[in-house]
Amino acid sequence: MNEVAVMGRMLPETPVAVVAQLRQMESALMGHEPVDVPTEHVIHAGMYARTIVMPAGHVLTGVLIKRPTLVIVTGAAAVLVGEEMVELAGYNVVPARAGRKQVFLSRTAVIITMLFPTQAKTVAEAEAEFTDETDLLLSRRQDANTVVITGE
């Protein structure tokens, strides 16, 4: 199977051992105050789009994603791809598999959008559709959300 995408590959599943290492890292960082990361949610025409704006010079680990999505990254960042960090720059539209846990190290301000088809009618439904770790989402722990639900 050819997994070539804009950055040279698809975002694959994250190996179990790497997920375990990331969880240890996250536990060590839990005492630190997270940076404010606004989240914009859009549910329209059977699609859910989730966009964050990450400031330059920060590390962000994501939840374990349980469904395939598209990920759009604008800016410069190092991104965990499987077991290695890969540098991205500019505008990238990347197919991404289920079973992944991402890490982003922003070099500049970075805009990240994840999207997938859904029948969800609320943000909570959409979040539960892509992860079982909704309690870890910054959108659930910070009051920096913008929500647009068109009903179409």
**10 is a domain residue:** no
Q: Note the pTM of the prediction, 2 decimals.
A: 0.89
Report whether pLDDT(2) > 80.
no
CATH code, 74: 2.60.120.10
Q: What is the pLDDT of residues 69-120, one digit of tens each?
A: 999 999 999 999 888 999 999 999 999 999 999 999 999 999 999 999 999 9
**2 is a domain residue:** no
pLDDT at 4: 33
For residue 137, give its domain range. 16-149
Contact (Cβ atoms closer than 8 angstroms) between residue 100 and residue 68: no
Contact (Cβ atoms closer than 8 angstroms) between residue 39 and residue 50: yes
**40 is a domain residue:** yes
Cα–Cα distance for residue pair 83/110, rounded to 1 Å: 21
Cα–Cα distance for residue pair 12/102, rounded to 1 Å: 10
Q: What is the pLDDT of residues 8-51, one digit of tens each?
A: 568 999 999 999 999 998 888 777 777 788 999 999 999 999 99
**144 is a domain residue:** yes
Report whether pLDDT(136) > 90.
no
Cα–Cα distance for residue pair 105/87, rounded to 1 Å: 9
